[in-house]
A and B are shown apart, each in its own frame.
Chain A
Amino acid sequence: MKVKAFFENTWKHRAHVVMALPVFLVMFFIFYVPMAGLVMAFKKFDYTLGIWKSPWCGLENFKVLVASKAQFISMTKNTVMYYIIFTALGTFLNVVLAIAIDQCVFKKCSKVMQTVMIVPVFISYAAVQFVVYAFLNSSTGILVNMMGIKTRFYSTARTWPTILTIVKMWNSVGYGSVLYMSVLAGIDTELYEAAQIDGANKWQQIWHITLPSLIPMITVMLLLSVGNIMRSDTGLFYQVTRNSGALYSTTQVIDSYVLNAIFKNSNFGFTAATSFFQSVVGLLLMLLSNGLVRKIAPENSLF
């Protein structure tokens, strides 16, 4: 009587059921119901009817997507490009910074500096946007004032991959390095002492002891981030660029496109098809990367 045993167990642990209930409900209504809402990619959406009652239209929305593929390809390309730049450069800088702070002998100094480096992550993009404007705008910006750079940034699309990368690194590297520092803190000091006795210099110690001990964490972080390849830090692309149309060719990512579509209340078929694509690709990559993590470092896999 497995079923009976199950119910008996559940009844015995009814207190746990009650405790789990609030999160269960919140997740159900906030996360799960919108998942079902993705069916609108296969419907001819009518706002007055809502998602469930709108008529089915098969693959029509995806046909629209293919027909206007230039835009779809452009924003997918931007999304993936920024993901690659941010992840590669970000991981590299996180590790370099973590090792640098770890190696610094002026502990008090480096602690204070680290505190300052983490601050940018707490500033919302709605506020960062004003700060970036103070640097870049063409009449009073610091770049034009102090360095004489006359580029009109807010209408020159090709400069934005660099600008957004700098802003993103400014925002996230200090905070990102904390995770790696916690790994460095776990390295056995005796390893370094033994290496010193064997005559290894600082660089050799970093190369042969510090880096190898970071590799598992780096691998895991990279693999886990693969599932987010189609998602972006919306604030960066929507706020920092001031959502300027002139810059879309290099700054429009899927998430900011969807946000704009919601505000313009338009093109829901195309947008729904794009969202569907985004979610499904995300799911597949997530399963793939988790499978890889499970092969390499089972204890770090998500499930």
Chain B
Amino acid sequence: MAKKGNLDLAPSKKDKIGIGQIILLIMLFAYTVFCAAPIWVTLVSAFADEKWIASNGFSFWPGKFSMAGMNSVLRYGKQLATSYGVTIFVTVVGTFFGLLIMSMYAYAISRKEFYLSRFLSIFLIIPMLFNGGQLSGYIIFTQNYHLKDSLLLLILPLCVTTMNVIILRTYIANSIPNELMEAAKIDGAGEYRTFFQITLPLLKPSLAAVGFMMATAYWNDWQNALLYIDSANKKPLQLLLINIQKSIEMLLNNKSLPATVLAALGGSVPQYSATMSTVLVVVGPIIIAYPFFQKYFVKGLTVGSVKG
């Protein structure tokens, strides 16, 4: 993997651009369109006129645009702001806490002269082979730990994964010269100082890759929220999305909607452009952040795949 630029390999510049290349490009483009189309629909529907969609249906180019959908996101106003806050808090705290403790663990088990490191490696691997499943986890977290409706259950279950520790350990073993850490010790640096001032800074590419994947997992986690969170002020964005869907379904099933409620909703149940606007607001940040991290996580995955 000494190659720079990662992908520019097989075909050299001398290759003629033949008909085959054009066909290949068209096929890749077709697949790109397939990937982008649903995102495009979300985007244009978010800015489309609610009534236009209701009568003409979703489309790739709505006939009438309006900001009403985006404005109605503000209807969730305070709850949306709270949910944003919760999601950002959980994502930031979880990712940094997880990265810190996982890299410390990875560092400890990568020390060969440390006898316990073998035991700790096995301890790390076992959850990958065997796990208690959702039901037993649910009962133990809620009944034995009494953590129902606690943000801890949004943070702790996702902050350590075996695979991430393995990726970090592999990076320490392969890409950080042991001599560097030995030298630091000879110069009188303690274990902690060696870790925080030598290892951790050199671990940065791997931390960026793992960190971004963790942040995505936190941002998109709906399952723990749905299982454990009840109170409105602890609701993350994904749970808000699920609640919106549930309440729309309820409104639609309830034929005899009081006129006052209908009037407050602007004449009809806001189910098209309004929900798409919300979806956009929820997924937007991760999609915008991702291109900046792309180079790291291609690298990070490479590190993860070439193990030991």
| Chains A and B bind each other | yes
- The interface of chain A, by Cβ under 8 A from chain B, is 6, 9-10, 13, 15-17, 19-20, 22-24, 26-27, 29-38, 40, 47, 50-51, 97, 100-107, 109-111, 113, 115-120, 122-132, 134-135, 139-142, 144-146, 170, 174, 178-179, 181-187, 189, 192-193, 202, 205, 210, 217, 227, 234-235, 239, 242, 255, 258-259, 261-262, 268, 271-272, 275-276, 278-279, 282-283, 286-287, 299-300, 302-303
Residue-wise interface mask of B (220-247) relative to A, using a CB-CB cutoff of 8 A (1 in contact, 0 not): 1111000100000000001101100100
13 residue pairs from A and B, CB less than 8 Å apart: A19-B108, A20-B116, A31-B127, A35-B127, A118-B290, A119-B39, A182-B1, A182-B301, A185-B9, A202-B20, A286-B128, A286-B129, A303-B125
Given contacts A122-B290, A126-B222, contact A35 B130 (CB under 8 A): yes
Q: A290 to B43, alpha carbons, bound, how many Å? A: 44
Nearest CB in chain B to that of A111: its residue: B7
Residue-wise interface mask of B (68-93) relative to A, using a CB-CB cutoff of 8 A (1 in contact, 0 not): 00000000000000000000000000
- A170–B38 contact, CB under 8 A? yes
- B165–A135 contact, CB under 8 A? no
- A283–B129 contact, CB under 8 A? yes
Q: A255 to B245, alpha carbons, bound, how many Å? A: 21
Given contacts A115-B294, A134-B41, contact A15 B192 (CB under 8 A): yes
Which residues of B in the span 19-44 have a Cβ within 8 Å of any Cβ on A?
20-21, 24-25, 27-29, 31-32, 34-36, 38-39, 41-42
Q: A19 to B120, alpha carbons, bound, how many Å? A: 12
Residues of B within 8 A of A131 (CB): 38-39, 41-42, 279
Q: A119 to B27, alpha carbons, bound, how many Å? A: 18
- B135–A124 contact, CB under 8 A? no
Q: A134 to B45, alpha carbons, bound, how many Å? A: 9
Given contacts A23-B104, A192-B10, contact A33 B140 (CB under 8 A): yes
Given contacts A35-B131, A258-B134, contact A100 B245 (CB under 8 A): no
| B interface, over-half SS | helix
Interface centre among B31, B104, B160 (most CB of A within 10 A): B31
Q: A10 to B108, alpha carbons, bound, how many Å? A: 12
Q: Closest 8 interchain pairs by CB?
A: A34-B132, A37-B136, A15-B191, A124-B220, A145-B57, A19-B104, A275-B133, A23-B105
Given contacts A124-B238, A141-B57, A275-B134, contact A24 B140 (CB under 8 A): no
Q: How large is the interface on B (under 10, 10 to 19, 20 to 34, 35 or more residues)?
A: 35 or more
Residues of A within 8 A of B115 (CB): 6, 9-10, 13
- A119–B35 contact, CB under 8 A? yes
Q: A38 to B160, alpha carbons, bound, how many Å? A: 21
A274 to chain B, nearest CB (A): 9
Residues of B within 8 A of A186 (CB): 1, 3
User: Which listed residue (B21, B157, B305) contacts A182, Cβ 8 A?
Assistant: B305
Residue-wise interface mask of B (135-152) relative to A, using a CB-CB cutoff of 8 A (1 in contact, 0 not): 111111001110000000
Given contacts A122-B220, A279-B133, A286-B128, contact A15 B190 (CB under 8 A): yes
A143 to chain B, nearest CB (A): 10
B264 to chain A, nearest CB (A): 22
Nearest CB in chain B to that of A98: its residue: B7
B180 close to chain A: CB less than 8 A: no
Q: A107 to B216, alpha carbons, bound, how many Å? A: 27
B253 close to chain A: CB less than 8 A: no
Residues of A within 8 A of B227 (CB): 259, 262
| A interface, over-half SS | helix
Q: A36 to B298, alpha carbons, bound, how many Å? A: 37
Q: A106 to B17, alpha carbons, bound, how many Å? A: 9
- A145–B56 contact, CB under 8 A? yes
Given contacts A122-B216, A135-B38, contact A27 B123 (CB under 8 A): yes
Residues of A within 8 A of B41 (CB): 131, 134-135, 142
B65 close to chain A: CB less than 8 A: no
Interface centre among A36, A125, A142 (most CB of B within 10 A): A142
B224 to chain A, nearest CB (A): 11
Residues of A within 8 A of B125 (CB): 302-303
- B133–A185 contact, CB under 8 A? no
- B28–A101 contact, CB under 8 A? yes
- A129–B116 contact, CB under 8 A? no
Given contacts A134-B45, A182-B1, contact A30 B156 (CB under 8 A): yes
Given contacts A37-B140, A142-B41, contact A185 B7 (CB under 8 A): yes
Task: Give the contact stretch, choosing among B171-179, B255-263, B280-288.
Answer: B280-288
Residues of B within 8 A of A145 (CB): 56-59
Residues of B within 8 A of A235 (CB): 222-223
Nearest CB in chain A to that of B223: its residue: A234
User: Which listed residue (A9, A34, A286) contacts B114, Cβ 8 A?
Assistant: A9
Given contacts A30-B160, A126-B242, contact A170 B35 (CB under 8 A): yes
Interface centre among A13, A20, A116, A205 (most CB of B within 10 A): A20
User: Which listed residue (B111, B157, B298) contacts A30, Cβ 8 A?
Assistant: B157
